[in-house]
Amino acid sequence: MKYFEPDSAKTQLGLAYGPSALTYLENHPEGLDYIEVPFEQLRHTPEVASMQKLIPMILHCASVSVAGTVSPTPATLQAIAQAAEHMRTPWIGEHLAFVSAEPLDRGDKDAAPTSLTYTMCPQLSEAAVDQVVRNLAVARTYLGSTPLLLENSPQYFAIPGSTMPMSEFIAAVMAQCDANLLLDLSHFLITCINTGVNPRDEIHKIPLHRVVEIHMSGVSQQSGIAWDDHAAPAPPIVFELLEQVLAKVRPQALTVEYNWSATFPQPILHQHLQRVRTLLEAA
């Protein structure tokens, strides 16, 4: 088995698990340092774990519902802990978001929580920050010493009851907990576009010294909103933001997330990885 060895002098480069990543790995076995695999994928198809014979893996996760008001079941948290231990992942990247919420009907004591298939941006408020802190304390009791990184959510519309912008919310969470940051530059850009702020200025409001991992993917603009799009290549501004971030911090890992489409063009994937590598070397 191959395990991810963090190297403070070097940013390691990986791809998010998906059919296009597997094709790339087959064609360029030396071209990647790791593959980032979602816990939910491992739970669904445990055989994916055997890929670790070829390449180190990092565990990503969307099941802790860190910013949510409904905790995952102990069984889920135990399964995440087990996967992390088995993989010897350097950390678990988890969305600063929620995937489950209380049932709509408050009166129905038997109603099950609503489970989402996709993580959702939480209310950006002091109450949500406190909730994150409480949720992390619970998760910590299961996850042992494996660090958690929190990944900034893309914000698509104004969340009612919010009292602060996303950058301030991230900073507030970072100030109150020991988890570091997984900065998804595309999510960050999407949030800036949808909330009408300049990403080149806003990036400096993010606690960049806490960034341990970076994500990059595509962005599509449709129906008046910018959307996360892992089937599209990252736009030039994401590379520009990456340069700005690298001027301030040396993350340990950078994951390119082009994982939604089995037919993502391999030449573009290769070209973008080369471009990222060049930026990392120049930083």
Q: E-strand spans in 84-127? A: 92-95, 98-101, 114-120
Residues between 185 and 224 that touch Fe ion (CB under 5 A): 215
The interface partner of residue 215, options being another protein, Fe ion, none and the CB cut-off 5 to 8 Å by kind, is Fe ion
Pairing status of strand 57-61 against strand 34-38: parallel
**How far is it, in rounded angstroms, from Cα 129 to Cα 166?**
11
Which DSSP helix (H) or strand (E) runs through 218?
strand 218-222
Q: Which of 261, 272, 277, 279 binds another protein (CB under 8 A)?
A: 261
Nearest 5°: the CA angle 57, 267, 222 is 85
Q: Which of 76, 123, 135, 152 binds another protein (CB under 8 A)?
A: 123
**How far is it, in rounded angstroms, from Cα 283 to Cα 275?**
12
Q: How many residues does the chain have?
A: 283
Q: Which of 23, 40, 156, 244 binds another protein (CB under 8 A)?
A: 156
DSSP 31-69: S-SEEEEEHHHHHH-GGGGGGGGTS-EEEEES-S-TTSS
* Closer residue to another protein, CB minimum distance, 157 or 236: 157
Residue 45 makes contact with another protein by CB under 8 A: no
The interface partner of residue 157, options being Fe ion, another protein, none and the CB cut-off 5 to 8 Å by kind, is another protein
Size of the site for another protein (CB under 8 A): 41
- Give bridge partners of residue 216 from the DSSP assignment: 256
Q: Which of 75, 104, 247, 282 binds another protein (CB under 8 A)?
A: 104
Q: How far is the CB of 38 from Fe ion (least distance, A)?
A: 10
Positions in the binding site for another protein (CB under 8 A)? 19, 68-69, 98, 100-104, 114-118, 120, 122-123, 125, 127-128, 131, 156-161, 220-223, 225, 227-229, 231-232, 260-263
